[in-house]
Amino acid sequence: MNLSGKVALITGASQGIGAACAAAFGRRGASLSLVARSEEKLRAVGGPEALITPGDLCDAEVRRRVVEATLERFGAIDVLVNNAGVGLYSDVSAAPMAEVTRMWELNVMVPLELIQLVAPAMIERRSGAVVNVGSIAGKVTLPWISLYSASKYALGSLTDGLRLELRDKGVHAIAICPGYVRTNFRENALAGRLPASLERSSKFQISAEECAEAIANAVERGKRTVVIPRVGWIMIGLARMFPWLVDWQLARMYRRVKLEE
């Protein structure tokens, strides 16, 4: 898809990957519809030409409003980038359920409803792309963030199913699986925090800008699944071929994490 003249709706666009996506898509000539909680940050990111919708995406009215406003302003939504999400660093057996519910709502249910809101117009035009920003943790479960991993596994499966359902209707679905992205994600987690030793030693670090470029390129080239950095495919491959070995290594890392607490 040539992004020049296309319309991109980007969630979680006030900072991090979402803000970087706004810049990457804007450079390619796309019109932008941006949604996040902070109106001030959205205006700084989008500039005067972007459509800004401030609000909490966990509010159904905000979801409906951003889609309707985008269609009213631009007449179409060519690309939906489901980027908004949140983390939770907690053991499965002790995680606070209110925060777990909030995370699943934002990481899975919000993208699902936005897809349902934009899909009819895409199907009617027989053109469109849905980009779901997941994680390498949605391919290999990381025990210090197991419930977040589970939510991203769910989002990845949803993406694969959507791609199969819509492949003959002109609409494509893309899964983006970044590793450690240098953003405020960890500081904004609903509970807990990434252990310092893991943050320092991460071999999968990328910038938000690198991630956004990979997303824009994936839309342009019609890719299926993007793992960034590409070295992440090695970890995914090892987990599939030698799960016992990956379990052993992750258990070692988890024990070290618990000793830091």
Residues labelled as active-site residues: 148
- Please give the radius of gyration of the chain, using alpha carbons only, rounded to the nearest integer: 18
Residues 152 and 135: their CA atoms lie apart, in Å, by 6
Output DSSP code: residue 89: -
CA 201 to chain centre: 23
Q: Which class for 102: exposed (0-12), middle (13-18), buried (19 or more C-beta within 10 A)?
A: middle
Helix (H) or strand (E) holding 81: strand 79-82
What three-state secondary structure class fits 207?
A: strand
* Orientation angle between helical segments 60-74 and 110-125, nearest 10 degrees: 30
Q: Which two tokens stand for residue 178?
A: 């970044």
Residues 68 and 91: their CA atoms lie apart, in Å, by 39
Contact 14, 183 (CB under 8 A): no
Phi-psi region of 76 (alpha: psi -120 to 50; beta: other; left: phi over 0): beta
